[in-house]
Amino acid sequence: MWREAAWLMVLLLLFHQICAAKDDEEHLCPPSSCGKITNIKEPFRLQGDPENCGHKSYELGCENNVSVLYLLSAKYQVEAINYKNYTVRVVDPALQHHNCSSLPLHSLSRSNFSDTYSYHNNLYQAGLSAYDNWESLNFEHIVFLNCKHSVKENRKYVESGECVKWDSEGYAYAVSGDLKAEDFEVGCDVKLVAPTSLRSLNYDSYTAIHRGLAYGFEISWVNLACQKISCSMFSCYFDSKSQNLACSSDGGRRTGSDLEGEGGKKEIGEIEE
Protein backbone atom coordinates (compact mmCIF):
# COMPACT_ATOMS: atom_id res chain seq x y z
CA MET A 1 0.00 0.00 0.00
CA TRP A 2 2.80 2.38 0.88
CA ARG A 3 4.42 1.70 -2.52
CA GLU A 4 1.23 2.74 -4.33
CA ALA A 5 1.07 5.87 -2.20
CA ALA A 6 4.72 6.61 -3.00
CA TRP A 7 4.11 6.20 -6.75
CA LEU A 8 1.09 8.47 -6.53
CA MET A 9 3.18 11.07 -4.75
CA VAL A 10 5.88 10.86 -7.47
CA LEU A 11 3.29 11.25 -10.24
CA LEU A 12 1.73 14.25 -8.53
CA LEU A 13 5.16 15.82 -8.12
CA LEU A 14 5.99 15.28 -11.81
CA PHE A 15 2.64 16.70 -12.83
CA HIS A 16 3.24 19.76 -10.67
CA GLN A 17 6.71 20.26 -12.19
CA ILE A 18 5.37 19.99 -15.76
CA CYS A 19 2.60 22.49 -15.04
CA ALA A 20 5.04 24.84 -13.33
CA ALA A 21 7.43 24.63 -16.29
CA LYS A 22 4.59 25.39 -18.69
CA ASP A 23 3.47 28.35 -16.56
CA ASP A 24 7.05 29.64 -16.45
CA GLU A 25 7.36 29.33 -20.24
CA GLU A 26 4.10 31.22 -20.81
CA HIS A 27 5.20 33.84 -18.31
CA LEU A 28 8.60 34.26 -19.99
CA CYS A 29 7.08 34.33 -23.50
CA PRO A 30 3.80 36.25 -23.35
CA PRO A 31 2.12 36.94 -26.72
CA SER A 32 3.46 39.93 -28.59
CA SER A 33 1.38 42.56 -30.34
CA CYS A 34 1.74 44.83 -33.35
CA GLY A 35 -1.21 46.73 -34.77
CA LYS A 36 -4.29 44.56 -35.23
CA ILE A 37 -2.32 41.34 -34.72
CA THR A 38 -2.50 41.12 -30.95
CA ASN A 39 -1.62 37.47 -30.30
CA ILE A 40 1.78 36.74 -31.86
CA LYS A 41 3.09 33.54 -30.28
CA GLU A 42 4.71 30.18 -31.01
CA PRO A 43 5.89 29.48 -33.66
CA PHE A 44 5.87 33.19 -34.55
CA ARG A 45 7.82 35.85 -32.78
CA LEU A 46 8.16 39.62 -33.13
CA GLN A 47 11.46 41.32 -33.77
CA GLY A 48 12.92 42.22 -30.39
CA ASP A 49 11.29 39.33 -28.52
CA PRO A 50 13.55 37.26 -26.20
CA GLU A 51 15.67 34.81 -28.21
CA ASN A 52 14.02 31.76 -26.62
CA CYS A 53 10.53 32.87 -27.70
CA GLY A 54 9.21 31.56 -31.00
CA HIS A 55 11.18 30.42 -34.02
CA LYS A 56 13.68 32.82 -35.57
CA SER A 57 12.61 31.61 -39.04
CA TYR A 58 9.05 32.74 -38.30
CA GLU A 59 9.94 36.21 -37.09
CA LEU A 60 7.58 39.05 -37.93
CA GLY A 61 8.47 42.71 -38.22
CA CYS A 62 6.49 45.67 -36.93
CA GLU A 63 6.58 48.67 -39.25
CA ASN A 64 4.41 51.72 -38.65
CA ASN A 65 2.30 49.61 -36.27
CA VAL A 66 1.71 46.98 -38.97
CA SER A 67 2.82 43.35 -38.64
CA VAL A 68 4.85 42.26 -41.64
CA LEU A 69 6.07 38.87 -42.84
CA TYR A 70 9.18 38.52 -44.98
CA LEU A 71 8.53 35.94 -47.69
CA LEU A 72 10.59 35.04 -50.77
CA SER A 73 12.64 38.26 -50.61
CA ALA A 74 9.45 40.33 -50.40
CA LYS A 75 7.44 41.93 -47.59
CA TYR A 76 3.76 41.25 -46.89
CA GLN A 77 1.36 42.71 -44.35
CA VAL A 78 -0.10 40.19 -41.89
CA GLU A 79 -3.90 40.27 -41.87
CA ALA A 80 -4.64 37.32 -39.53
CA ILE A 81 -3.02 34.30 -37.90
CA ASN A 82 -5.03 31.11 -37.40
CA TYR A 83 -3.32 28.88 -34.86
CA LYS A 84 -5.89 26.10 -35.21
CA ASN A 85 -5.38 25.28 -38.87
CA TYR A 86 -1.78 26.52 -39.06
CA THR A 87 -2.30 29.33 -41.57
CA VAL A 88 -1.37 32.99 -41.80
CA ARG A 89 -3.15 35.42 -44.14
CA VAL A 90 -1.02 38.10 -45.72
CA VAL A 91 -1.49 40.77 -48.39
CA ASP A 92 0.86 42.62 -50.71
CA PRO A 93 1.40 46.10 -49.18
CA ALA A 94 0.92 47.77 -52.57
CA LEU A 95 -2.73 46.71 -52.75
CA GLN A 96 -5.27 49.31 -51.63
CA HIS A 97 -8.92 48.41 -51.09
CA HIS A 98 -10.37 51.51 -52.74
CA ASN A 99 -7.81 51.89 -55.51
CA CYS A 100 -8.55 49.48 -58.36
CA SER A 101 -5.33 50.50 -60.10
CA SER A 102 -3.20 49.15 -57.24
CA LEU A 103 -1.54 45.82 -58.02
CA PRO A 104 0.80 43.44 -56.17
CA LEU A 105 4.48 44.31 -56.43
CA HIS A 106 5.45 40.69 -57.13
CA SER A 107 4.06 37.72 -58.99
CA LEU A 108 3.35 34.81 -56.67
CA SER A 109 1.82 31.40 -57.37
CA ARG A 110 1.80 27.82 -56.17
CA SER A 111 5.08 27.24 -58.01
CA ASN A 112 6.80 29.44 -55.42
CA PHE A 113 6.03 26.92 -52.68
CA SER A 114 6.93 23.30 -52.11
CA ASP A 115 4.30 21.05 -50.60
CA THR A 116 6.58 18.08 -50.11
CA TYR A 117 6.25 17.88 -46.35
CA SER A 118 9.25 15.61 -45.91
CA TYR A 119 11.50 18.60 -46.57
CA HIS A 120 11.60 20.43 -43.27
CA ASN A 121 13.39 23.50 -44.65
CA ASN A 122 10.21 24.67 -46.36
CA LEU A 123 8.83 27.29 -43.98
CA TYR A 124 5.47 27.71 -45.70
CA GLN A 125 3.26 25.60 -47.94
CA ALA A 126 0.51 26.49 -50.40
CA GLY A 127 -1.81 23.69 -49.18
CA LEU A 128 -2.71 21.68 -46.10
CA SER A 129 -2.81 18.19 -47.59
CA ALA A 130 0.04 15.91 -48.56
CA TYR A 131 -2.01 14.53 -51.44
CA ASP A 132 -4.25 16.16 -54.06
CA ASN A 133 -2.45 19.42 -53.38
CA TRP A 134 -3.89 21.19 -56.39
CA GLU A 135 -7.42 20.78 -55.05
CA SER A 136 -6.47 21.67 -51.49
CA LEU A 137 -4.66 24.95 -52.07
CA ASN A 138 -5.19 27.69 -49.52
CA PHE A 139 -5.59 30.17 -52.36
CA GLU A 140 -6.50 30.46 -56.02
CA HIS A 141 -4.73 32.41 -58.73
CA ILE A 142 -5.64 35.67 -60.43
CA VAL A 143 -3.86 35.90 -63.79
CA PHE A 144 -3.38 39.30 -65.42
CA LEU A 145 -2.90 39.47 -69.18
CA ASN A 146 -2.28 42.08 -71.81
CA CYS A 147 -3.87 41.34 -75.20
CA LYS A 148 -3.29 42.97 -78.56
CA HIS A 149 -6.96 42.63 -79.45
CA SER A 150 -10.27 42.66 -77.59
CA VAL A 151 -11.36 39.31 -76.10
CA LYS A 152 -15.14 39.21 -75.87
CA GLU A 153 -15.95 35.61 -76.70
CA ASN A 154 -14.10 34.16 -73.70
CA ARG A 155 -16.10 34.79 -70.52
CA LYS A 156 -13.14 33.96 -68.31
CA TYR A 157 -11.42 37.14 -69.44
CA VAL A 158 -12.60 40.05 -67.27
CA GLU A 159 -11.66 43.46 -68.65
CA SER A 160 -10.05 45.80 -66.13
CA GLY A 161 -11.43 48.93 -67.78
CA GLU A 162 -9.58 52.07 -66.76
CA CYS A 163 -8.11 50.42 -63.64
CA VAL A 164 -5.18 48.66 -65.31
CA LYS A 165 -3.34 49.55 -68.51
CA TRP A 166 -0.32 47.40 -69.34
CA ASP A 167 0.06 48.86 -72.84
CA SER A 168 -1.51 51.99 -74.23
CA GLU A 169 -2.47 50.07 -77.37
CA GLY A 170 -3.48 46.82 -75.69
CA TYR A 171 -6.35 45.44 -73.62
CA ALA A 172 -5.89 44.45 -69.99
CA TYR A 173 -7.73 41.40 -68.60
CA ALA A 174 -7.81 39.36 -65.41
CA VAL A 175 -8.73 35.67 -65.18
CA SER A 176 -9.64 34.01 -61.87
CA GLY A 177 -8.48 30.45 -61.28
CA ASP A 178 -5.87 28.54 -63.22
CA LEU A 179 -5.38 29.47 -66.84
CA LYS A 180 -5.31 26.29 -68.92
CA ALA A 181 -3.62 25.97 -72.28
CA GLU A 182 -6.93 26.04 -74.15
CA ASP A 183 -7.81 29.33 -72.40
CA PHE A 184 -4.88 31.25 -73.87
CA GLU A 185 -5.94 33.66 -76.55
CA VAL A 186 -3.67 34.51 -79.48
CA GLY A 187 -1.89 37.80 -78.91
CA CYS A 188 -2.19 37.72 -75.11
CA ASP A 189 0.76 37.75 -72.70
CA VAL A 190 0.73 37.01 -68.97
CA LYS A 191 1.86 40.07 -67.03
CA LEU A 192 1.24 39.10 -63.40
CA VAL A 193 0.01 36.17 -61.29
CA ALA A 194 -1.34 36.87 -57.81
CA PRO A 195 -3.10 34.73 -55.16
CA THR A 196 -6.32 35.29 -53.19
CA SER A 197 -8.05 33.22 -50.51
CA LEU A 198 -11.40 35.00 -50.79
CA ARG A 199 -13.36 32.28 -52.58
CA SER A 200 -16.88 33.45 -51.71
CA LEU A 201 -17.01 36.04 -54.51
CA ASN A 202 -18.17 35.50 -58.06
CA TYR A 203 -15.25 36.94 -59.98
CA ASP A 204 -17.26 38.16 -62.97
CA SER A 205 -16.24 41.81 -62.53
CA TYR A 206 -12.90 43.48 -62.02
CA THR A 207 -14.23 45.12 -58.84
CA ALA A 208 -14.74 41.67 -57.31
CA ILE A 209 -11.35 40.48 -58.51
CA HIS A 210 -9.56 43.43 -56.96
CA ARG A 211 -11.50 42.97 -53.72
CA GLY A 212 -10.24 39.38 -53.61
CA LEU A 213 -6.65 40.49 -54.11
CA ALA A 214 -6.92 43.12 -51.37
CA TYR A 215 -8.27 40.45 -48.99
CA GLY A 216 -4.96 38.61 -49.24
CA PHE A 217 -4.00 34.95 -49.30
CA GLU A 218 -3.30 32.19 -46.80
CA ILE A 219 -0.16 30.09 -46.51
CA SER A 220 0.48 27.27 -44.06
CA TRP A 221 3.20 26.29 -41.61
CA VAL A 222 1.73 22.77 -41.24
CA ASN A 223 5.15 21.37 -42.11
CA LEU A 224 6.50 22.63 -38.77
CA ALA A 225 3.43 21.42 -36.86
CA CYS A 226 3.77 17.96 -38.40
CA GLN A 227 7.24 17.60 -36.92
CA LYS A 228 5.59 17.35 -33.51
CA ILE A 229 3.74 14.09 -34.26
CA SER A 230 4.96 10.66 -35.36
CA CYS A 231 3.45 9.35 -38.57
CA SER A 232 6.01 6.59 -39.09
CA MET A 233 5.58 5.53 -42.74
CA PHE A 234 2.58 7.82 -43.16
CA SER A 235 2.59 11.39 -44.41
CA CYS A 236 1.35 14.19 -42.15
CA TYR A 237 -1.30 16.68 -43.24
CA PHE A 238 -4.10 18.83 -41.79
CA ASP A 239 -7.56 17.27 -42.04
CA SER A 240 -9.96 20.19 -42.53
CA LYS A 241 -12.99 18.03 -41.65
CA SER A 242 -11.76 16.87 -38.27
CA GLN A 243 -9.65 20.00 -37.71
CA ASN A 244 -6.78 17.74 -36.66
CA LEU A 245 -3.35 16.84 -37.90
CA ALA A 246 -3.57 13.41 -39.50
CA CYS A 247 -1.41 10.79 -41.17
CA SER A 248 -1.95 9.63 -44.72
CA SER A 249 -0.47 7.12 -47.15
CA ASP A 250 -1.55 5.14 -50.19
CA GLY A 251 -2.82 2.52 -47.78
CA GLY A 252 -5.26 4.78 -45.96
CA ARG A 253 -5.51 7.62 -43.50
CA ARG A 254 -5.33 7.96 -39.73
CA THR A 255 -6.69 11.01 -37.96
CA GLY A 256 -5.31 12.80 -34.92
CA SER A 257 -7.51 10.75 -32.57
CA ASP A 258 -5.85 7.57 -33.88
CA LEU A 259 -2.43 8.99 -33.07
CA GLU A 260 -2.88 9.79 -29.41
CA GLY A 261 -0.56 6.95 -28.46
CA GLU A 262 2.07 8.24 -30.90
CA GLY A 263 2.07 11.90 -30.03
CA GLY A 264 -1.45 12.66 -31.18
CA LYS A 265 -2.79 15.98 -32.31
CA LYS A 266 -0.58 18.93 -31.46
CA GLU A 267 -2.29 22.30 -31.55
CA ILE A 268 -0.21 25.42 -31.09
CA GLY A 269 -2.83 27.90 -30.02
CA GLU A 270 -6.06 29.69 -30.72
CA ILE A 271 -7.43 31.73 -33.60
CA GLU A 272 -6.25 35.30 -33.99
CA GLU A 273 -8.39 37.54 -36.17
CB 236 within 8 A of CB 224: no
Closest CA to 219 of 93, 76, 19, 45: 76
- Give the C-alpha separation, 234 to 222, whole Å: 15
Condensed to tens digits (0 to 9), the pLDDT of residues 39-52 reads: 999 999 999 999 99
Domain boundaries, the chain: 72-272
Give the Cα separation of 248 and 149 in Å (integer): 48
* pLDDT, tens digit (0-9, with 9 covering 90-100), for 87-118: 999 999 999 999 999 999 999 988 888 654 44
CA neighbor of 208 nearest in space, from 138, 145, 142, 273: 142
Digitized pLDDT (tens) for each residue of the chain, 273 residues in all = 555 554 545 455 554 444 444 444 445 899 999 999 999 999 999 999 999 999 999 999 999 999 999 998 899 999 999 999 999 999 999 999 999 999 999 999 888 886 544 444 578 988 875 444 445 678 999 999 999 999 988 989 999 989 998 877 899 999 998 888 888 999 999 999 999 999 877 888 999 999 999 999 999 998 888 887 777 767 788 887 888 888 876 444 444 444 444 443 333 333 333
**Could you give the CA distance from residue 174 to residue 78 in angstroms, rounded to a whole number?**
25
- Please give the model's pTM, rounded to 2 decimal places: 0.78
Q: In the chain, how many H helices and how many E strands? A: 3, 16
User: How far is the C-alpha of 81 from the C-alpha of 92, rounded, in Å?
Assistant: 16
